[in-house]
Structure 1
Amino acid sequence: MDFSMITRTGNKAWTIAIVGLVVPLFVGFAPILTFPEKLVAIEKANGQGIYVALVSHIISSFAVIASCVSELQIQNSELGRLALSSALVSDILSTIMTTTGVTIVSTPDMEVVSRNLFSLFTLAVFIPLICRPIMFWIIKHTPEGRPVEEGYIYVIIAMVFGLGVFTVKIDQQFVLGAFILGLSVPEGPPLGSALVKKLQFFGTSFFLPIFVTTSVLKADFFIDFSSSVVVSVGMVVLFIHLVKIAACFVTALCCNMPVTDALSLSLILNTKGVVEIGIYNSLYDNNVLHILLFRFKYVFHLCMQIVDGQTYGILMISIMIIATIVQWTVKLLYDPSRKYAGYQKRNMMSLKHHSDLRILLTIHKPNHISAATDFLDLCCPTHENPITVDVLHLIELVGRALPVFIPHCLQRQASLSASHKSYSDDVIVAFDIYEHNNPHAASVYTYTAISPSNLMFEDVCNLALDKVASMIILPFHIRWSSDGVVESDDKKTLRAMNHRVLEIAPCSVGILVTRANSKQTGTSTISSTSSSTTEYSSTTRLAVIYIGGADDDEEILCLAKRTMNNPRINLVVYHLVAKDCMAELEDLMVIGDEMLQEVKHAENVRYQEIFTKDGSQTACFLREIVNEHDFFIVGRRHGIHSPQTEGLTEWSEFPELGAIGDFLSSPDLNSRASVLVVQQQLSIKTELKGWIL
């Protein structure tokens, strides 16, 4: 848990958390406080089971909600982030209230109460002010890229048990010390991720299932539903949940949230799980211990009914029912991808002449930076044709519960001058230099997103939607050397993300395939502020493979038109025409494809019509030209069948590249050329159209 998030949480999360905590608390305890004579009767009939049910179902546990949001795979969605922020605030506030309340009512001796309150305050202040700086010292003395020393990890784990014993001594739960220490541990690598790695197996994978299983086995599900205990506890649980759902729902509506999203948020904040199981199990075990002590006549004053068997069974059933309802209902109500299913055109074809081209670049590894700047040079940013680039550095979420999104636009200089090195410093510096080398032609904004690997696509699509991007550029998951050796392969994270972005992106998408020793077109730099006085240090041989009949091919022609403004780019447009379909070329001339005609008759463009019978002839032609160019731009043409690619599709290894893109990217060609595969936005929307209707 990143405790510093509580200071950066917006007013919406604070409002929902406070209202969702205060309203059920007031509504739940108001009748009891209004009729104090009922207190004795309730305690005699039900012990403290009603109070336990009341308090435990009012509070929201961050750990449970984080687990629920993770299972729903919506951490990176706007709803998921708001739910986690609200849960963090609610958990901190409820922990403060419950620990203070337990300290006050645990004993009638005011001297003991004062001592425990002072100890609790000291604990809450000592750990963040003393332990947290020590942990930062550990991080500072850990070499970059190296794991934290094992000795430090074992010391921190020992501190967990030591603080647990101390909190028990001041009449608090054992987990309170671990909770405060956990808030103080710096999240993320290297320390947070090292602790997660060390404790993940024994804590989450081994002990947790055993603990939950044994806790449920203790429950007696042969419940007498006519019993006053069962009826009263069940009514309290149902009533409190309805009140809390209504409070969170109304508050979310007042914050201008859609009805379905507000209902989904209120349900998520009401979910229950392993934390509540631990509370009920502890109280039930405490009750059993008191009974045993009473039977053996060791002590009599400890015989106090906290949670009996009937109440324990009802509370366990309530957790199962609530968790099931929340999971099923939220999946039914909330689809985070629906916001991308608009019909607004966001592609290069829809841009007006001399309009600003907005591009979203995604960076995973340092070697993606040079390939990204190579592509930006192809876009030829000038005064007349400027580009706005949003660079998103994606980092896998490890050692923290909350996903983080950091805009570096305002804090750029501060982050560079600070002693603490940012994860994205290399990315920020590289694109700052690019913006400096292209004054008044390229505007660059950098961002960092730390999120689970299976949800990185949400960060990409959210930013593209917010910034009205016309194209997203994604790095291909494999990087080959010039001799065909695989240098890196990130199939699990990068390829899965690329597939999801291609499915739901709100704009056009390009997948950039680069090779380690490919010609670095990014060495060209613009040294002046107008297109008439540009100066370049290298020449790039660019080829566009055009087939026609698909929106993707029209999109690559739009990109080719921008490269025509660069005198140091030798552009060749290869128009593949089916040999047995000569009518295709005649129809094209009749229709008068303005874009193709403009490219065809440009002075600095070489246009060539290639007649092919099938995919085998196309492959032979591509083999002949593959080493004549430094860069290829092709359309993905997903789901479109044409004679020119017949047969190539069957042998395609990576469908996300299309038939021609996959062939040009094959290491068997021994090519050093980079390949950009483009999919236009409209081809994506057709997949979502049926769902929208």
Structure 2
Amino acid sequence: MEVGQENFIRSTVSVATNSLGEPFICHSTTNQINSKGIWFGDDPLTYSLPIFLLQLFLMFIFTHFFYIILKPFGQTAVVSQILGGMTLGPSILGHSATFSEKVFPLKERSVLDTVTFFGFMLFIFLSGVKIDPTITFRLGRRNCVVGIAGYFVPYILAKVVLYILNHSASFDSDSYRMLYVVIEIQCIAAFPVITRFLSELQILNSEIGRLAASSSLVAEACFIVNMTLTFFIKLSLTKSIVVSIGSFLSSLVLFLFIIYVVHPAALWAIQQSPEGKPVEEIYICAVLVTLMICGLLGEIIGINALAVSFFIGLAIPDGPPLGAALVDKLDCFVSVVCIPMLFIIVGLRTNVYAIQTKKNVLGIQLIICTTFCGKVLGALLPLLYLRMPVRDAFALGFIMNIKGTVEMALLITLKLKNMVNDECFALMVLNLLFVSGIVSPVVKSLYDPSRRFLAYKRRTLMHHNNDEQLRILACIHKQENVLGILNLLSASNPTKESPIDLVVLQLIKLVGRSSSVLVAHVPCKKFGELPTLSDQIFNSFDKFADAYNGKITIHSYKGISPYATMHNDVCYLALEKRTTFIILPFHKRWIFGRTTESSFPFQQINKHVLEKAPCSVGVLIDRGNQKMFWCGHTKESTYHVAVFFFGGADDRETLAYAKRMLDQPYVYITLFLFSSTTEIVGGTETSKMLDTEILSEFRLKAFRNERVSFKDEMITSGRDLLSVVEYMESYYDLVLVGRKHGDSKVMSELHKWKNGELGVVGEILVSLNVGAQTSILVVQQQTRYWGSRNPEDSIRKV
């Protein structure tokens, strides 16, 4: 009898109303968290923890199911998350009363909503952490104009349309208020949503990506200022003077506390964290406790905890060590669990069957279309005035229309406050799904970041004049990359007649930031402050430049971006600085002649740069055991270079580099000229003519040069080449080889033996033991430039 009564009490749930007529849920106060199990007579789905775990499982299954299906069509994660939520909601599965009552019962909605909004609070906090507050001082005129126009143009146009609709269709007060809310939501250009979208499309650190991120930040600031002024004006008109002043002063005190207490405390914590060491847990815990306390205080005085979370995030400096540590600790949980949960509760409240009133549907759709066109127009007009390409301007307009987590959270908040009905809510969600679905493919078709990396002339070593400055871009990942590049630069023979203008770019993974950064390096100047890793790298290059006394000029940059888009920084800087040659470190690392580390992200960076670079590229394989040739160039130390020449554009570029080294008094060059009884490499007649021409020029310049030797190697099969490579042993400090060679019988045999991103011969050199101290430079001549489909087309220097 008692057991049956207890089970009855536990399973009882009903919806009642309070004295104001508002619904609330009545259920037993008996512990209903953990189930004893089906063997003891319990139904696990009537307990909070099992049902919550089931909801998370279904959320994960459905969102990832749609993501796998839609990813090949260029759709972002937002679309799959919305579809996953709608599938579980009343529009599809939730339309069944049995499924809805069992899987998403009313008594568990409050648990799901609370956990979701706490997770979203963390998302907003991390969004603030990832923003560099000083970006506002670096925003240019274009960014500010686009951001302001992107918010106020659609806002004003929509208000005009609303005024016309109200006078022509005579909406009631509820419908008018609902349309007003639609305008507010549609005009948002949320910075966290747009940066996430840019990251998924891998255009975050392109020109449009940077413009969209900064413009959305300006537009969001306009939205916050507008809403704040509207709130306090409405407060002063509807509440007493005591309430208005109290609300304003309490809000001011809270924000002053964030500015003058939280921010300095975060800076102090950063000073206590040495570079390269993890941040102590006490500082992470202190930040999270501060976040919760300030969020609570905000709710007490009437400020949404989400807004407070954003400003707390802004008070934490972005990037390492503290900002990066917070992102590393929380980002996975927030992005994998909390954000999909937000779209699940959106789907649970989206009922497409509630769309019935024709007048409301037309009014909402008209407002949505007006704001969409207004945002495109707000981006288009300023950019066209500033002479930006039309395709890029349209792409930016579509990006500014993207919607996601912030808009959905605001929409749910308004739904809970009964400011939008089920019909409006469903229309807004469907609109978000439609816009998110079309924006991704449209932006991809309109904007290709690599298109702007095309140079207008040949930028190769072969076409470089001997009496002009040679511009080189050297990319650095780690301190270990420095010595090999310095030796190569020293062998490149910088002189007063032909100095080297060197751009050093340190590539750093984006951690704890929302947008990519490409900035000139500023060395630390504080007395007693330990040099950072960046300072150590750039100091090495500064000493190198000092040793050459004006023959080398150094420009130091740091590119902080995700690995997926890091190649854009390299190509952009190469185009901007009119670089002739890019040096990339190989993705594998050697210690004592053995491979110890291989980085797939670095490999992908090299692959993308080789595909899209506006000039010639060299991949430097450093075996980590080099002598310091550049430091001994005044002491008659020697540097032995081997050059492999088969034929083709890349080999000609290699020989052009070697020709520049001929005048370096301490460089000894051996040219391996490979030939065969049949055609050794394929190619056009023009290519063969260019091969003969550059070989003649090299022989003429090397005439009577005792530091140059020639070796003619006759090979009939791939095995003959392997024998030559194996015979080289450790005699040479550097081997120069072209990346690609035309198809032939010999090359076909080598293709079967070895092939990869370094080309056939380059991969063989890396794989075989050519010497523990031997570095390899795999060279690719510029492949892309305006007005040419084939690198063989340009014969003369331009």
Same fold, TM-score > 0.5, yes or no: yes
Using the TM superposition, give the Cα deviation of residue 38 of structure 1 relative to its aligned residue in structure 2, in angstroms: 6.0
Pairing partner for 1:509 from 617, 629, 632: 617
Identify the residue that residue 482 of structure 2 maps to in structure 1: 369
The counterpart of 1:662, out of the listed 748, 758, 763, is 763
| Unaligned ranges ≥5, structure 2 | 1-130, 792-798
Match of 1:184 among 299, 315, 318: 315
User: Secondary structure of 1:146's match?
Assistant: coil
C-alpha contact (below 8 Å) 2:621/2:777 kept by paired residues = yes
Alignment counterpart, residue 473 of structure 1, candidates 563, 572, 583: 583
Q: 2:28 is matched with which residue?
A: none
Calculate the aligned-residue CA RMSD, in Å: 2.7
1:19 has 2:149 as partner:
yes
Contact 2:484–2:626 (CA under 8 A) maintained in structure 1: no
1:542 shift after superposition:
1.0
Comparing 346-355 with 20-29, which one deviates more in the overlay?
A: 20-29
The separation in 2 between residues aligned to 1:588 and 1:338, in whole angstroms, is 31
1:406 has 2:522 as partner? no
Per the alignment, residue 547 of structure 1 pairs with 646
| Structure-2 residue corresponding to 1:299 | none
Q: Secondary structure at the match of 1:7?
A: helix
Query: Does the residue aligned with 1:63 lie in a helix, a strand or coil?
Result: helix
Letter of the structure 2 residue corresponding to residue 83 of structure 1? A
Partner of 1:426: 536
- Contact conserved, 1:511 with 1:677, CA < 8 A, in 2? yes
Q: Tell me whether 1:272 sits opposite 2:371 in the alignment.
A: no
Matches within 5 A, 1:301-340: 306-340=419-453
In structure 2, C-alpha distance between the alignment counterparts of 1:52 and 1:421, rounded to whole Å:
52
| TM-score (normalizing by structure 2) | 0.77
Q: Counterpart of 1:164?
A: 295
8 A Cα contact 1:103 1:171, kept in partner: no
Q: Distance in 2 between matches of 1:393 and 1:355?
A: 26
- Take 1:418 and 1:112, find their aligned partners in 2: how far apart are those partners? 52
In the alignment, which residue of structure 1 is the partner of 2:276? 145
Partner of 1:122: 253
Give the Cα–Cα distance (whole angstroms) in 2 for the partners of residues 133 and 212 of structure 1.
Answer: 36
Distance 1:38 1:111 in 2: 37
Q: Deviation string for 1:471-521 (max 9, x for gaps)?
A: 11000011123442x233212x11000000111111001000011223333
Instruction: Say whether residues 1:97 and 2:205 are aligned partners.
Output: no
Q: Which amino acid letter does the alignment assign opposite residue 634 of structure 1?
A: V
Change (3 A) 1:591 1:501: closer
Q: Does 1:220 align with 2:347?
A: no
Deviation at 1:566, TM superposition (A): 1.1
Partner-residue secondary structure (3-state), 2:740: coil
The answer for the alignment partner of 2:199 in structure 1 is 70
Contact 1:618 1:644 in 2 (8 A): no
Picking from 679, 685, 693, the partner of 2:780 is: 679
Partners in 1 of 2:264 and 2:786 — Cα distance?
51
| Partner secondary structure for residue 131 of structure 1 | helix
Task: Provide the residue aligned with 2:659 in structure 1.
Answer: 561
Stretches of structure 1 that go unaligned for 5 or more consecutive residues are 288-305, 526-534
- 1:370-409 matched pairs, under 5 angstroms: 370-408=483-521
The alpha-carbon distance between structure 1 residues 172 and 437, as it changes in their structure 2 partners (threshold 3 A), is same
1:202 aligns with 2:333: yes
Please state whether the residue corresponding to 2:515 is helix, strand or coil. Answer: coil
C-alpha deviation, 1:644, in angstroms: 4.8
1:234 & 1:581 partners in 2: Cα distance?
68
Task: Give the C-alpha shift of residue 32 in structure 1.
Answer: 6.0
Shift of 1:332: 1.1
* Shift of residue 325, structure 1, vs aligned partner: 2.0
- 2:647 aligned with 1:538, yes or no? no
Deviations 1:417-471 (Å, cap 9, x if unpaired)?
6959655211221111111111121111110000001111000000001111111
SS in 1 for 2:246: helix
Change beyond 3 A, Cα 1:115–1:244:
same
The residue identity in structure 1 corresponding to 2:147 is: A
TM-fit CA distance, 1:645: 4.0
Q: 1:120-176: CA deviations, max 9, x gaps?
A: 233333212221111111111112211111222122122222222222233332200
In structure 1, how many angstroms separate the alpha carbons of the residues matched to 2:371 and 2:530?
Answer: 46
State how far apart, in whole Å, the 2-side matches of 1:460 and 1:213 are.
40
- Distance, in Å, in 2 between the alignment partners of 1:241 and 1:598 is 66
For residues 330-369 of structure 1, the aligned pairs below 5 Å read: 330-342=443-455, 344-369=457-482
Cα deviation, residue 118, structure 1: 2.1
What residue is the counterpart of 1:81 in the other structure? 210
1-structure distance, mates of 2:243, 2:421: 28
| 2:553 aligned with 1:452 | no
| Distance in 2 of aligned mates of 1:466 and 1:515 | 31
Answer yes or no: is the 8 Å Cα contact 1:482–1:670 preserved in 2.
no
Superposed displacement of residue 29, structure 1: 3.0
Give yes or no for contact 2:251–2:301 (8 Å, CA) kept in 1: yes
Paired with 2:566 and 2:750, the residues of 1 have a C-alpha distance of: 31
Say which SS state the counterpart of residue 597 (structure 1) adopts: helix
Q: Secondary structure of 1:74's partner?
A: coil
**Structure 1 residues 212 and 671 mapped into 2: Cα distance closer, same or farther (>3 Å)?**
same
Residue type matched to 2:632 in 1? S
Q: CA deviation at 1:580?
A: 4.4
Q: 1:274 to 1:59 in 2, by over 3 A?
A: same
Deviation at 1:537, TM superposition (A): 4.5
Kindly provide the CA deviation profile for residues 575-617 of structure 1, in whole angstroms up to 9, marking residues without a partner as x: 0111445999x98799554324325535131112111111111
Distance 2:336 2:311 in 1: 23
AA aligned opposite 1:473:
I
Distance (whole Å) between structure 2 residues aligned to residue 672 and residue 175 of structure 1: 57
Superposed CA offset, 1:181-216 (max 9, x none): 111111111111111121123211112112211212
Q: In terms of mean alpha carbon deviation, does 330-339 or 218-227 score higher?
A: 218-227
Q: Which one is further off, 265-274 or 661-670?
A: 661-670
After superposition, the Cα gap between the structure-2 partners of 1:451 and 1:589, relative to the gap in structure 1 and judged at 3 Å, is: closer
Q: Is the 8 A contact 1:348 1:558 kept in 2?
A: yes
Kept in 2, the 8 Å contact 1:104–1:113? The answer is no
Give 1:498's aligned residue.
606
The CA deviation at 1:343 is: 5.2
Alignment deviations for residues 387-429 of structure 1 (CA, whole Å, 9 cap, x no partner) = 1111100000001101111113xx45x6576959655211221
Q: Tell me which amino acid in the other structure corresponds to 2:448.
A: D
Matched, 1:597 2:597: no
Q: What is the percentage of aligned positions where both structures have the same residue?
A: 30
Amino acid at match of 1:560: A
> Partners in 1 of 2:722 and 2:480 — Cα distance?
30
Instruction: Report the counterpart of residue 577 of structure 1 in structure 2.
Output: 675
Matched residue pairs, number? 653
